[in-house]
Amino acid sequence: MFARSIKKNIRLINKSNHIRLHYNRAIMRHPIRSIHLPQLPKPPNKYELLIQARGFIQRLKIRVKYPLMKQMRPFTLNDITALFSWVFLGHTVWLVVGTTSFLSFGLWAANSLQFQEWVTDKMCHYLTLTSEAVVVFESATPNWKDGKIRINNVHLVCMPRSEQLKFQQGLQEKEPRIIQGDLLNGIDLDQDELTPKAQKRLKRMPWFDLTIDFVEVELSLMRLMEGKGIIKSADVVGVRGIIDNRRAGWNKIAAWDAETVRKSHIPGGFEMDQLVLEDMSVIVYMPNGFRPFPFSIIQAQVSRLRRQWLFYDMLCADKIIGSFDTSLFSVHTPQLEKSVLEFSDLEAKGSNPNLANYYPFKKSNPQGVFVGGGNQQFGVMIDDNMKEQGYERKTRLRIEGVSMDHVHRLGQGPPQWITSGTMDFCADIYIPDEKRKGKSPSVAQAIFEVFKQSLPQSVIIGTGTGQIITLRGSTQQYTEQDLKKKFVMDIDVRFKNIKGVVPLKIPEFSYLNSAMVRPLIAYINRNRTILPIKGRIIMDLETFDGAWTIHDSTLGDRLNECITTGFVNLVSDQQERNKRLKRIGFWSFREMIRNIVTLHETLHGSARGFWTYLGQ
């Protein structure tokens, strides 16, 4: 029995092993896909969820949640923080890096949703609060091609509404009355114009009423955070209107002070990297009853325009072409290295000058006069010499046929005594390299300076005068003076067809006395065809800080002084030339009489010859 049970168990074990072997072979022969396992329910996709949704709110949730999570479940804290980080940080980077494209997208969305008028009103209100004028425009649309925002039909006004109405009706006064030094006394002001901020703006700013066809701006939030204004570059096309400078910044009672008139620094004032201006034509009104005159700009390209350095940046523009009271003017970079002090276009003989008659080291014209005190320091600067002196480039300002009544505004002196004629003005303006910095002292130089300060001062005892000269003080003063950046302008002024009269009251100048007035007027009337004056003006660059006009920077006073000194030098040279001619004439007459007497004695035999003197 026991043996039979053992055999039965062995038979069962073999049978189970055989079944297991066949099962393993079946698994190896057939893949897993042939095994029928229970399948889980498949989650519905977005389209199935949208079909089952009821109402706008449910469909909106599906359209928002499904692209973010690929399923429909409640938001968790991790989902909310991730979504906030993605939206906030991503849009912040977009706003900082691409400010123009971000605002362009916002304007496009507002215009698509019929919010254009509301956005326009809010932008006009913001620009009016942040600027010094009332800004109104029609529409603002993105310019995707150029990456800018285009503002159409802009209207800029900085003027009381009552005065604006007078200009529109043609009833403006020729010479406004300023009562007790108050610039706004006697003007009807509205309620919003009586605020201290509005009155300060009207007293400090020149009045203007301008319309612009369109303005394209490029914005940058990084510049705004740096305090340079949000506008990076601007293209302005089609400017029309008036500029009234009869009252702003001008007081009859107080004496003129250029430093008080200059504009103070305002944080966030505009500092544009580029300005392109085309098709500008305005009428300018000046104080003291001066006649209105047109001013137009055909095209202007300014590489940098800052509010605090407005006049200086316009002088250093890349290109400006326009007219000033029907007199053509231009600001450009000269193609040749020649300076106005070396060789003028008016000195060319025959036809127009070309490269054949240009010589870089040609001496100045002996005719005319040269005025300037800093010539030994700078000399005639060409490209290489200019860069050694710390100047980046130069621009040339040229005005042809300026009427003399504009020259009268420079100040008192000989220009005011000229009643008729024109003036041609040409100037080379040398622009300092602001990126150039002084070389940092080496370790050896620093050690030498420390030992130099610790040692006693070196002195030189004079030979008999008892004067002690300190060497170190003068060297330090020269170094500090040399580090200051200078504004250098070489001018070539030519008066044409002028006529002068003797003034009733002769002003007092250190460089002009009363004895020179009548000879000067006589010289002007005698040489009225053309009077050339060349000179150099050197000024501190800080005088242009806050200056918006030629008078604020005192450049007009320096021009007047240079022209007056040139006239005085011309008269002095003429007087010296006349004295030399008289001396030469008297000597020639004396020698001629002597030769005639000698000839007469020789012919009559009364003259003693060489052998007579030899026999004695």
How far apart (Å, rounded) are the C-alpha atoms in residues 134 and 155?
A: 8
Neighbours of 309 (CB within 10 A): 21
460 and 469 Cβ atoms separated by less than 8 Å: yes
The predicted structure's pLDDT at residue 61: 75
How far apart (Å, rounded) are the C-alpha atoms in residues 514 and 501?
A: 14
Highest mean pLDDT among 80-94, 245-259, 484-498: 484-498
Mean pLDDT across 439-449: 52
The predicted structure's pLDDT at residue 348: 43
At 143, list the tokens.
Answer: 């310019």
% the chain with pLDDT above 70: 70
pLDDT band at 128 (very low <50, low <70, confident <90, very high): confident
Alpha-carbon torsion (403, 404, 407, 409), positive or negative: negative
pLDDT band at 441 (very low <50, low <70, confident <90, very high): very low
Per-residue pLDDT tens for 173-187?
766 666 556 677 777
pLDDT band at 461 (very low <50, low <70, confident <90, very high): very low
Per-residue pLDDT tens for 330-365?
999 887 667 777 654 444 434 333 322 333 333 344
Please enumerate in sequence order all residues whose Cβ is within 8 A of that of 102, keeping only pairs 6 or more positions apart, or say none.
91, 94, 95
519 and 569 Cβ atoms separated by less than 8 Å: no
Residue found by looking up tokens 């912040």 in the block: 92
How far apart (Å, rounded) are the C-alpha atoms in residues 200 and 216?
A: 30
232 and 213 Cβ atoms separated by less than 8 Å: no
Domain ranges of the chain: 50-95, 98-308, 336-341+365-434+483-585
CB-facing half-sphere around the CA of 77: CA atoms within 13 A: 0
pLDDT band at 380 (very low <50, low <70, confident <90, very high): low
Neighbours of 96 (CB within 10 A): 14
pLDDT band at 194 (very low <50, low <70, confident <90, very high): confident
The predicted structure's pLDDT at residue 387: 72
How far apart (Å, rounded) are the C-alpha atoms in residues 511 and 595?
A: 46
Per-residue pLDDT tens for 200-239?
777 777 888 999 999 999 988 888 888 888 888 999 999 9
Per-residue pLDDT tens for 524-554?
888 778 888 888 888 888 889 888 888 888 8
Nearest alpha carbon to residue 508 among 498, 500, 517 = 517
How far apart (Å, rounded) are the C-alpha atoms in residues 484 and 479?
A: 9
271 and 313 Cβ atoms separated by less than 8 Å: no
How far apart (Å, rounded) are the C-alpha atoms in residues 307 and 546?
A: 8
Mean pLDDT across 149-171: 83
Alpha-carbon torsion (586, 587, 590, 595), positive or negative: negative
| CB-count exposure of residue 212 (10 Å: 0-12, 13-18, 19+) | buried
For residue 76, the Cα-to-chain-centroid distance in whole angstroms is 56
| CB-count exposure of residue 61 (10 Å: 0-12, 13-18, 19+) | middle
Q: Rounded to two decimals, what is the model's pTM?
A: 0.70
DSSP 345-414: GGG--SS---GGG--TTPPPPSSSEEE-S-HHHH-S--HHHHHHTTEEEEEEEEEEEEEHHHHGGG-SSH
Quote the Cα angle for 438-440-443, to 5°.
Answer: 155
Distances (CA, A) of 546 to 143, 228, 308, 605: 34, 15, 5, 87
The predicted structure's pLDDT at residue 172: 73
Crossing angle of the two packed helices 99-112 and 77-97, in degrees rounded to 10: 110
In whole numbers, what is the pLDDT of the chain averaged over residues?
75
The predicted structure's pLDDT at residue 343: 53
How far apart (Å, rounded) are the C-alpha atoms in residues 21 and 474?
A: 111
The predicted structure's pLDDT at residue 516: 78
How far apart (Å, rounded) are the C-alpha atoms in residues 394 and 386?
A: 9
The predicted structure's pLDDT at residue 476: 45
Tell me which DSSP letter residue 529 carries: S
